[in-house]
């Protein structure tokens, strides 16, 4: 499973990328706001750090305007993925942009039917939101599994990009189900390395090492 980092924080992206933990980046208007930077400027900087797909989201609601914004965003770098919402206008924009050879990430997916439409429209990625479904007492992971089954049934090439990842368990389960990609905030990716038994074992090793009175350096 590919790891995308869901942030516009350049320092966090650079740190994770140096460790080989970043296969791509996803951004959205909320993350751009949090960064406090110009969307074109920060997206260009991110594309210079990461060689994989970098999702930059359109902000218009009409198809023609989405297409115009998408074409402008696509000029930032060859690895830009234009991100459009899963609305009827978003699907129209997806079709035009994908037919023109641009990667497209269709976001805010909450049903299998929506995922089917995105695949038919030529989406490169479909972004089902796991955590937001969990928030309203629906099973976000079940949606990932259902999309996986249906895409495999018909050999759709659209990649499942599990989004709204809130916990390390979400990551593990998405990998088990067979999501092609997951995108998560930097803090969730860092937490994947944590385990209480690792901490306890290391503490015991350090305690015993101190008793030896030895040094390596």
Q: Are 93 and 117 a contacting pair, CB within 8 Å? A: no
Specify the CATH architecture of the domain 2-208. Answer: Alpha-Beta Barrel (3.20)
Task: Give the DSSP H/E element, type plus range, for residue 81.
Answer: strand 80-85
Q: How confident is the model at residue 59 (pLDDT cuts 50, 70, 90)?
A: very high
Q: Which of 83, 95, 157, 215 is catalytic?
A: 83
Look up 34 and say whether it is catalytic. Answer: no
**Average pLDDT value for residue range 39-62:** 98
At residue 88, the 3 state secondary structure works out as helix
pLDDT at position 215: 97
pLDDT at position 150: 98
Q: Mind listing the pLDDT tens digit for each residue in 63-102? A: 999 999 999 999 999 999 999 999 999 999 999 999 999 9
pLDDT at position 202: 98
Q: Mind listing the pLDDT tens digit for each residue in 156-188? A: 999 999 999 999 999 999 999 999 999 999 999
pLDDT at position 170: 98
Q: Considering the entire predicted model, what is its pTM?
A: 0.96
Three-point CA angle 179, 180, 181, nearest 5°? 95
Q: How confident is the model at residue 8 (pLDDT cuts 50, 70, 90)?
A: very high
Q: Which among 161, 169, 129, 179 is positioned nearest to 4, based on CA atoms?
A: 161
pLDDT at position 116: 98
**Average pLDDT value for residue range 17-22:** 97
């Amino acid at each position: 499973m590919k790891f995308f980092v869901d942030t516009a924080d350049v320092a966090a992206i650079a740190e994770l990328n140096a460790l080989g933990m970043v296969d791509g980046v996803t951004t959205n208007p909320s993350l751009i706001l949090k960064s406090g930077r110009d969307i074109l400027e920060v997206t260009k900087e991110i594309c210079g750090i990461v060689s994989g797909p970098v999702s930059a989201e359109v902000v218009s609601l009409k198809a023609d305007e989405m297409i115009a914004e998408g074409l402008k965003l696509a000029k930032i770098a060859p690895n830009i993925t234009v991100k459009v919402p899963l609305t009827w206008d978003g699907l129209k924009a997806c079709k035009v942009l994908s037919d023109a050879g641009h990667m497209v990430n269709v976001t805010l997916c909450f049903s299998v039917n929506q995922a089917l439409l995105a695949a038919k429209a030529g989406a490169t990625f479909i972004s089902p939101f796991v955590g937001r479904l969990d928030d309203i007492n629906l099973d976000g992971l079940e949606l990932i599994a259902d999309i996986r089954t249906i895409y495999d049934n018909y050999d759709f090439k659209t990649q499942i990009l599990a989004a709204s990842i809130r916990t390390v368990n979400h990551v593990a389960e998405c990998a088990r189900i067979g999501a092609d990609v997951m995108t998560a905030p930097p803090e969730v990716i860092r937490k994947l390395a944590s385990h209480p038994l690792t901490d306890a074992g290391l503490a015991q090793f350090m305690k015993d090492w101190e008793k030896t009175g030895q040094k390596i350096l």
